[in-house]
Amino acid sequence: MTISREDIEKVAVLARIRVDDEQVSALENDLGNILDLVDQLSAADTESVEPMAHPLDAVQRLRPDEVTETNQREAFQAIAPATENGLYLVPRVIE
């Protein structure tokens, strides 16, 4: 699969990055190589391969879901500039 100079320039505009003329030709070659590799991977037969979430069958140890700190809402709201009914009041940002 090939990628054109126009495609690279369009993607650069969408990504809001500046690409010089010499970079465009280098990117054309590099992205073409990447797309060729993707085509090769797409051609591989994966019908008998079972999908997996992680290649190493790793299991993450999780800590127990327990409360470790006391509720200090009143103390925090006492030092807040403005509160009402347990909520923090903030200035309007969007009108």
3-state secondary structure the chain: CCCCHHHHHHHHHHHCCCCCHHHHHHHHHHHHHHHHHHHHHHCCCCCCCCCCCCCCCCCCCCCCCCCCCCCCHHHHHHCCCCEECCEECCCCCCC
CATH number of 5-42: 1.10.20
pLDDT score recorded for residue 8: 92
pLDDT score recorded for residue 79: 96
pLDDT digits (tens, 9 = 90+) for 41-55: 999 998 998 888 778
The domain ranges of the chain are 5-42
Q: What is the mean pLDDT of each run of 10 residues along the chain (95 residues)?
A: 88 93 90 93 90 80 90 94 94 87
